[in-house]
């Protein structure tokens, strides 16, 4: 994406989980929505700028007024971040002249926005999913004091995915960062919890259209 452009969304519209191949920033000009991803649920209101890395997966749930969003190109981002700018209209004016400059201007003066905090047990569950590649979902849910069914419902509400899909997406995002840094595919597969390099290759190609070798080269 090399140009800035606005998108308008209807009241209570829902965009299912999707990816963008390129890094970009979304600045809310009007209305509101919740963005849902492996990083959590973020409340996006006027002035909130959310920067997405390449191939980031997320879903969006719009509020009762819908939303108008200004989408801006960014050179690269190695992780999702959300921040609040003081003058969204000023950023929009800059974007009409130079979209990339608008992204930098927004980031320079913005303050970080944290995701909406889920229940502590759910935070623990996500941490265990990320750090324990061998434990089953039922075992992890039990250690957190909830049923498997409750864990699945809560993960889908807060992160837009089941616990199993959430674990795969966290592994995938970690693998993308390591591959982009030049790490060898075999070591990336082992370090991020994939059963082997072909497993990593299948999931990476399904999600991004790229093999590990092509990801490293980009």
Q: For residue range 136-181, what is the model confidence (pLDDT) as tens digits?
A: 999 999 999 999 999 999 999 999 899 999 999 999 999 999 998 8
- Which of 41-45's residues contact partners 24+ apart within 8 Å by CB, and which partners? 41/115, 41/116, 41/118, 41/158, 41/159, 42/82, 42/113, 42/115, 42/116, 43/113, 43/116, 44/82
pLDDT (tens digit, 9 = 90+) per residue, 16-46? 999 988 899 999 999 999 999 999 999 999 9
pLDDT band at 217 (very low <50, low <70, confident <90, very high): low
Total of domains in the chain: 2
What is this structure's pTM? Answer: 0.84
Same domain, 190 and 158: yes
Burial bucket for residue 173 (CB in 10 Å: 0-12, 13-18, 19+): buried
- 29/73 same-domain check: yes
C-alpha of 201 from chain center: 21
- DSSP state letter for 58: E
Could you tell me if 145 and 102 lie in one domain? Answer: no
In CATH, what number is assigned to the domain containing residue 188? Answer: 1.10.10.60
Parent domain of 39: 5-112
Question: Same domain for 97 and 152?
Answer: no
Residues present in the chain in total = 218
Indicate whether 12 and 41 sit together in one domain.
yes
The reported pLDDT for the residue numbered 148 is 96
């Amino acid at each position: 994406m090399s140009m800035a452009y606005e998108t308008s969304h209807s009241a209570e519209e829902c965009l299912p989980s999707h990816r963008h191949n390129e890094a970009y920033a979304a600045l809310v000009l009007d209305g509101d929505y919740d963005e849902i991803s492996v990083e959590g649920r973020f409340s996006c209101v006027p002035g909130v700028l959310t920067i997405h890395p390449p191939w980031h997966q997320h879903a969006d749930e719009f509020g009762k007024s819908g939303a108008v969003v200004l989408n801006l190109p960014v050179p690269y981002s190695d992780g999702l971040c959300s921040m609040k700018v003081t003058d969204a209209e000023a950023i929009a004016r800059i974007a009409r002249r130079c979209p990339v400059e608008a992204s930098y201007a927004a980031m320079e003066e913005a303050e970080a926005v944290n995701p909406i905090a889920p229940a502590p047990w759910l935070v623990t569950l996500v941490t265990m999913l990320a750090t324990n590649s061998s434990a089953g979902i039922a075992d992890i849910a039990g250690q957190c004091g909830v049923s498997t069914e409750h864990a699945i419902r809560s993960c889908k509400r807060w992160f837009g995915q089941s616990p199993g899909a959430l674990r795969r997406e966290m592994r995938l995002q970690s693998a993308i960062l390591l591959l982009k840094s030049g790490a060898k595919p075999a070591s990336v597969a082992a370090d991020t919890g994939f059963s082997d390099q072909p497993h990593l290759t299948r999931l990476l190609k399904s999600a991004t259209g790229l093999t590990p070798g092509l990801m490293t080269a980009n």
